Amino acid sequence: MIVEHALLQVRAGEGTAFEAAMRQARPLIAASSGFVSIEVRPAAEHADRYLLRVVWTDIAAHRDGFRMSDRYQDWRKLLHGFYEPMPLVEYFGESIV
């Protein structure tokens, strides 16, 4: 399993709209081959910041599967306009503990 991780900074005051768009976008990613789970958590101490955590079977499922799909284009249309700046996406391996 691989964990995709990104800190999402949403434009000020747009958190509620972002959350609604994320709920709408969830089925797009969930339909992807290799998708395991997704979490999007609001920051406890910073308004309009979220932690995105997606578990995939492997990096290729995300990078070569979802990101190359028509569903990803729809995901981008729903969500990418909220980010300022665009987030850095990183992949992490299995837990060491």
Q: What is the pLDDT of residue 32?
A: 97
CB atoms within 10 A of CB 29: 19
β-bridge pairing 49-56 and 35-42: antiparallel
Q: What is the pLDDT of residue 44?
A: 98
Sign for the pseudo-dihedral over CA of 9, 34, 55, 27: positive
Give the model confidence (pLDDT) of 21-72 as tens digits. 999 999 999 999 999 999 999 999 999 999 999 999 999 999 999 999 999 9
Residue 41, strand partner residues: 51
Give the model confidence (pLDDT) of 4-26 as tens digits. 999 999 999 999 999 999 999 99
Q: What is the pLDDT of residue 62?
A: 97
Nearest-angstrom CA–CA distance, 46 and 48:
6
Q: Sketch out the chain's domains with CATH numbers.
A: 2-85 (3.30.70.100)
Q: What is the pLDDT of residue 83?
A: 98
